[in-house]
A and B are shown apart, each in its own frame.
Chain A
């Protein structure tokens, strides 16, 4: 099984990951090789076996809806690449 260039570009789009042409070629080779080796998983009989998402027996963890102090917004915004007053600034979504 070998991934096509189009498939690699499609996955990159889903992940919103820009790639150079050279990276696309390299990832196409490497991902194909990795997935080919991982086809070993298909040999395992998993009929009737439920999936495991996590390993601890906790379910539906809830806590009381109590108001607690939040971090001040200026401390949160201190790491923002671009800000405008109390807001994060982003590029135009629509042209």
Chain B
């Protein structure tokens, strides 16, 4: 096994007992990046100089006895989280040359742990997409099959972890952007409860839905990263002043007494048979581990979630992306006579097709005469979806579904059909609408292509879903398989 494919907890043990230095580990990660990056294109920026400096500093910390579980461990950060002095592009031409003057709260928290950042991860432009094909720079390739997409929008983060370029990654999830690529790349990806992790310094897409979370090789690692990034932050007024437990304490393997519901609407029309079969088998495993499974739960408003999401998220995006005016930062088209023309041309040439499509859709849904019929209607449907989840959680501790209706699709297959692309998020986006925590874990393969299982919890019950996911990983070894590249 390569050093850069160690888990966080394995690497930590070796660092702590001085069998391995952070510099050695970081060099292994950078060497792996040199090997596989030309094939997978997971990174927008490789920060090798910074990484080696951070690794030396980590080794000094470790030598002085100052070590915590993330100290000295190489990782990557999705390129929509601000890193002071290091370009943060959102994989957009609009921010190609943007260098943030400050760090996102999550970056600050990780830096305080003495981490090593080896790069910034490629993504769908402004996190809008499900395949990483909407990156303005280059698409990322799935390490399990280079002709296929890694999912999106945190496709670079998921690929970097799956391909062993980094030991873990941070992603962001607005409608499935951590969980769907985690499923497609066979890694573990957690979207925490809305408000659990500070969004300060995360470039805004849809502010009522966005949430930052970890992509890791197993659930134990996921708990370690969540421990480091969770918690109230006065700079994000939507971060919630709830206590954050030590998430490693819930990682037991006994599921006795846990009640798990299977919402039948998530086994949608058009779902690949292999996916449904694998997920039913995985749920059977949870039953063997002691969980009480109810197979026929109904969440009848599920079929409306996709439409509600794709009205609400673009509406919020159209407002958030109004800030890109070519004046304060970012791409600026100068060759015009007046301000209005400069503004329109800056946005015409700075944004890619999917971003333009969503700005248009959102602007339409918010415009005079259409606001009530589209935006307000979608917000009311949002209420019904949330109420339905609240009701289900009076009977169940968690709900389990497939992460995505299909295995990874071919690059180019859905790029000209936005609606087909949107359907890739059909199982993940209701969870953002309701603000719930959800985790995707590896649950099998079909013809060598990964299948992910999603576990959904009630608000602030990350411990419950981590526990179920951990118990499953202790009984299976899907998460230990690595792509052969």
Given contacts A58-B238, A81-B326, A88-B328, contact A15 B359 (CB under 8 A): yes
- A41 contact from B308, B325, B342, B363, Cβ within 8 A: B308
Given contacts A17-B348, A51-B380, A52-B379, contact A44 B304 (CB under 8 A): yes
A51 near B361: Cβ-Cβ < 8 Å: no
* A88 CB contacts on chain B under 8 angstroms: 327-328
B381 contacts chain A at the CB level, 8 A cutoff: yes
A34 near B301: Cβ-Cβ < 8 Å: no
* A90 CB contacts on chain B under 8 angstroms: 327, 339
A11 near B348: Cβ-Cβ < 8 Å: no
Q: B434: shortest Cβ distance to chain A, in Å?
A: 6
* A33 CB contacts on chain B under 8 angstroms: 419
* B367 CB contacts on chain A under 8 angstroms: 11, 14
Kindly state the separation between the CA atoms of A5 and B349 in the bound complex, as whole angstroms.
21
Given contacts A15-B359, A54-B435, A79-B98, contact A93 B338 (CB under 8 A): yes
What number of residue pairs across chains A and B have CB atoms under 8 A from each other?
Answer: 168
Kindly state the separation between the CA atoms of A82 and B334 in the bound complex, as whole angstroms.
9
A75 near B101: Cβ-Cβ < 8 Å: yes
Q: B237: shortest Cβ distance to chain A, in Å?
A: 4
- A93 contact from B339, B379, B381, B382, Cβ within 8 A: B339
Contact with B along A39-74 (1 / 0, CB 8 A): 011111010011111111010010100000001000
B-side interface mostly = helix
Q: B239: shortest Cβ distance to chain A, in Å?
A: 9
Q: A3: shortest Cβ distance to chain B, in Å?
A: 8
* B195 CB contacts on chain A under 8 angstroms: 56, 58
A85 contacts chain B at the CB level, 8 A cutoff: no
Kindly state the separation between the CA atoms of A75 and B332 in the bound complex, as whole angstroms.
18
Interface size class of A (residues with CB under 8 A): 35 or more
A-side interface mostly = loop
- A38 contact from B99, B194, B307, Cβ within 8 A: B307
* B99 CB contacts on chain A under 8 angstroms: 78-79
B357 near A27: Cβ-Cβ < 8 Å: yes
B356 near A27: Cβ-Cβ < 8 Å: yes
* A40 CB contacts on chain B under 8 angstroms: 303-304, 307
* A8 CB contacts on chain B under 8 angstroms: 360
B194 near A18: Cβ-Cβ < 8 Å: no
* B326 CB contacts on chain A under 8 angstroms: 81
Pairs A–B under 8 Å by Cβ, sample size 10? A15-B360, A16-B343, A41-B307, A41-B308, A51-B379, A52-B386, A55-B386, A76-B101, A79-B328, A79-B330
- B residues with a Cβ closer than 8 A to A are 97-99, 101-102, 194-195, 208, 234, 237-238, 240, 301, 303-304, 307-308, 310-311, 318, 322, 325-332, 334, 336-345, 347-349, 351, 356-357, 359-361, 363-364, 367, 373-374, 376-384, 386, 418-419, 433-435, 459
- A residues with a Cβ closer than 8 A to B are 8, 11-12, 14-20, 23, 27, 30-31, 33-35, 37-38, 40-44, 46, 49-56, 58, 61, 63, 71, 75-76, 78-82, 88, 90-93, 95
